[in-house]
A and B are shown apart, each in its own frame.
Chain A
């Protein structure tokens, strides 16, 4: 059974720092991996989607990598800003086309 884990559950860093969020999954048989952002009281916003055949995707200050063999993905945020404060979730589409979610990392960027 596919399980997705995100560590740490919470992270607080000063503004301007580069940071990495981690996502791990137990079964490498996935179709893709997605990173989402959730602001308090709001829905989820898709940030990046990496297909299983890809190694990374970039959008602005965000870069997501995927290593299927080790069951890991990272979300790199460059030059963090207070507006980046949110909960970041990763989700994998497993071999049964089920979307399996991690519990999220709550990120706080201190001005």
Chain B
């Protein structure tokens, strides 16, 4: 049963610390997305990659957030330095084709981040 995995599932850290979240997309999926979900803003697209190349990161605060795909089996989202307003659930999703956001997306379980 292929699925998207994310680590860690929960992270509590102090303001100013670096946070790295990892995602393993479904094998063979060409497009990977990072989302953030909060009660106030709902789901927001932060960035997405196609064939490991970043296509759109306009939703991501550039000064502190960075997203990479070192290889086809790993996507990372890094926050440095973290701030309390970054507290949210971060979801990774992958899609099988090259159609980007128009494909059906398969979501991971999320990383719940709390920044104190």
Within 8 A of B (CB), among A36-55: 36, 41-46, 49
| A99 within 8 Å of B (CB atoms) | yes
Residues of the B chain whose Cβ atoms lie less than 8 Å from the Cβ of A46: 104-107
Give me the interface of A with B, judged by CB distance under 8 Å.
31-32, 34, 36, 41-46, 49, 89, 91, 93, 97-99, 101-104
Q: Kindly state the separation between the CA atoms of A104 and B43 in the bound complex, as whole angstroms.
A: 10
B25 an interface residue at 8 Å Cβ cutoff? no
- Nearest-CB residue, chain A, relative to B91: A43
Residues of B at the A interface (CB closer than 8 Å) are 4, 42-43, 45, 91, 93, 100-102, 104-110
Query: Beyond A49-B104, A97-B100, A98-B101, is A43–B110 a contact (Cβ under 8 Å)?
Result: yes
- Provide the residues of chain B in CB contact with A99, threshold 8 Å: 45, 101
Could you say which of A93, A102, A104 contacts B101, with CB atoms under 8 Å apart? Answer: A93
Q: How far is the CA of A98 from the CA of B102 in the complex (A)?
A: 9
